[in-house]
Chain A
Amino acid sequence: MAAVATLVFCAPGYPGGAGDAQPLIDQFAKAAVAGAHWPEGSLAAVYDPSEQSGLSKLGGPDAVLAFVPFAFFVQHAAELHLTPLAQADVVGVGPQERWSLVAKTGALNGPPLTAEYTILSVAGYAPEFIRHSALQAWTLPPDVRIESTGQLLSALRRVAAGEHVVALLDQTQADALPTLPFAAELKVVGQSPPLPVAIIAIVDSRVAAARAKSLQAALLKMGHGGGAGADTLSALRLQGFVMPQVPRPAPAP
């Protein structure tokens, strides 16, 4: 018996485990299939919070769709042969966001970033994204260190304490900077251009063109004007999808 086609959600660095996410993404897959008029039960969904096991799942023969942060997409689109299908429109953020580079006040005012600095970010697992998308204006030295962290508060404490670290924050994190008691010690010294927040992509052309088109149409309708999908999206903190507008990353120097 053939494996059921699977939509793999993977969001490295963000908190939470598969157990609490699974019912929500099951509901999402069901709503997407219904909207696209695919056969009922023809799409399963699985959530994985880690990059490596997410990659492993996406490498499996049943993985046909990926729902990933844009950083993950940039880092792994080529190896996984990802083709963007739709772009998530996130509640409170929108379909695009700017990433902000945060340094200790007075320590750094703009490019260049010298190699003595370490960049800490929830997207640290995606150095291609950091170098060529989020910080494309900075031309980072080849030996600059980039580290992944899910504990932004600790990272920002290190920045404020004057260690040679900077933090790269997504829009939600950057918007919350003023809430920190040591906010005066921190300064945004650079911002990315607007970038997609998250992408649904076809894995390795494993969805036939006609089915992909019907799924894309269903996704673009979800959440707009209420409807059955609105509650499903709301539980995922999404308000809908838009056509993908994937910027080309800056070329490597």
Chain B
Amino acid sequence: MKRWLGCWILTLLVACRAPQRPAIQSSVPLPTSVEALAAAIDSDARRSDQEPDSRIRVELATEASRDAEACMAREPSNVACLYGGAIALGLEARAHPTRAGELLRTMLERLAGAEAADAGYDHAGPPRVRALVLIRAPGWPLGPGDPEAGLAAARRAAALRPEYPPNHLALAEALAKTGDANGARKSYQQARDLAQALPSASDRDAWLREADQALRNH
């Protein structure tokens, strides 16, 4: 029946490094370098992930799209712009569910471009985020979801940057979605062990919470 309901659930967990920017203002100046634009998109993604107010999520998506367009205009083949552009499209999809199908397909194309340019960018961000989109988006024919392709992408991310806990969280989610409960449990445990070994930080605590919660449920 969800076919009639036409809803999309997509919570893209994007690992970021940039500090959060202050509250949205209509006249936020456009960052000037590719690095600054990419960091601004990262910051918007992180804020959107925590933001309960849909109007603010729309504003964040708009700002991220503006920054992504500026980045692509400067250096269209730079991995930071391709990846940032994909993340901005994810924010747009979340803010505008009725256009999510088309936006997510374009997002996957951008992620493929980013992976071709530098798969290891952002701790294997291109294959990791690609995996999460493929796992969580509605499947054919309603959307671009494809758990098998998502599993392949998650395996690539975990192989490329095995030390980074979110890559194992994504792999665990993909394994669970494709019916490998034992494999999922092992990957969640691995993510937990890796996170446990890191210094205390908000990201690390979030990864531990996700792994612990999943281990309780699997």
Query: Chain A interface (Cβ within 8 Å of chain B)?
Result: 9-11, 14-17, 19-21, 24, 47, 49, 67-69, 88, 90-91, 150-154, 156-157, 172-173, 175-176, 179-180, 198, 235-238
CB-based contact B5/A20 at 8 Å? yes
Considering the chains assembled together, what is the distance between the CA atoms of A198 and B4 in angstroms?
Answer: 10
Given A16-B138, A172-B141, A11 and B147 contact (CB-CB distance below 8 Å): no
CB-based contact A154/B4 at 8 Å? no
CB-based contact A9/B7 at 8 Å? no
* Smallest CB separation, A56 vs chain B (Å): 17
Report A-chain residues with C-beta under 8 Å of the C-beta of B8.
20
Report A-chain residues with C-beta under 8 Å of the C-beta of B139.
15, 150-153
CB-based contact A49/B2 at 8 Å? yes
CB-based contact A237/B4 at 8 Å? yes
Q: List 18 A-B contacts (CB under 8 A).
A: A9-B1, A15-B138, A24-B5, A49-B1, A49-B2, A67-B1, A91-B4, A152-B139, A154-B147, A172-B3, A172-B142, A173-B140, A173-B141, A175-B141, A176-B140, A235-B6, A236-B6, A237-B3
Most interface-central of A17, A153, A156, A238 (chain B CB within 10 A): A153
CB-based contact A180/B7 at 8 Å? no
Contact mask B1-21 → A, CB, 8 Å, 1/0? 111111111000000000000
* Smallest CB separation, A23 vs chain B (Å): 9
Considering the chains assembled together, what is the distance between the CA atoms of A14 and B1 in angstroms?
Answer: 6
Report B-chain residues with C-beta under 8 Å of the C-beta of A68.
1
CB-based contact B5/A16 at 8 Å? yes
CB-based contact B146/A14 at 8 Å? no
Contacting A at CB under 8 A, from B172-204, are: none
Given A49-B2, A154-B147, A154-B148, A24 and B140 contact (CB-CB distance below 8 Å): no
CB nearest neighbor in B for A23 = B7
Query: Chain B interface (Cβ within 8 Å of chain A)?
Result: 1-9, 138-142, 145-148
Considering the chains assembled together, what is the distance between the CA atoms of A11 and B6 in angstroms?
Answer: 13
CB-based contact B1/A153 at 8 Å? no
Given A152-B140, A154-B148, A172-B141, A69 and B1 contact (CB-CB distance below 8 Å): yes
Partner of B140 from A10, A19, A180, A235 at Cβ < 8 Å:
A180
With A11-B3, A15-B142, A152-B139 given, name 10 new contacts (CB 8 A). Answer: A15-B2, A16-B2, A47-B1, A49-B1, A151-B139, A153-B148, A172-B3, A235-B5, A235-B6, A237-B6
CB-based contact A90/B4 at 8 Å? yes
Considering the chains assembled together, what is the distance between the CA atoms of A222 and B2 in angstroms?
Answer: 20
Partner of B146 from A47, A88, A153 at Cβ < 8 Å:
A153
Report B-chain residues with C-beta under 8 Å of the C-beta of A16.
2, 5, 7, 9, 138
Partner of B141 from A150, A179, A198 at Cβ < 8 Å:
A179
Considering the chains assembled together, what is the distance between the CA atoms of A151 and B145 in angstroms?
Answer: 9
Report A-chain residues with C-beta under 8 Å of the C-beta of B7.
16, 20-21, 24
Considering the chains assembled together, what is the distance between the CA atoms of A49 and B146 in angstroms?
Answer: 20
Considering the chains assembled together, what is the distance between the CA atoms of A10 and B4 in angstroms?
Answer: 12
Report B-chain residues with C-beta under 8 Å of the C-beta of A19.
9
A-B pairs, 9 with minimum CB distance: A11-B1, A176-B141, A16-B2, A237-B4, A20-B7, A153-B140, A14-B2, A15-B138, A237-B6
Report B-chain residues with C-beta under 8 Å of the C-beta of A151.
139, 147
Report A-chain residues with C-beta under 8 Å of the C-beta of B5.
16, 20-21, 24, 235-237
Considering the chains assembled together, what is the distance between the CA atoms of A173 and B143 in angstroms?
Answer: 12
* Smallest CB separation, B155 vs chain A (Å): 17
CB nearest neighbor in A for B136 = A15
Report A-chain residues with C-beta under 8 Å of the C-beta of B1.
9-11, 14, 47, 49, 67-69, 198
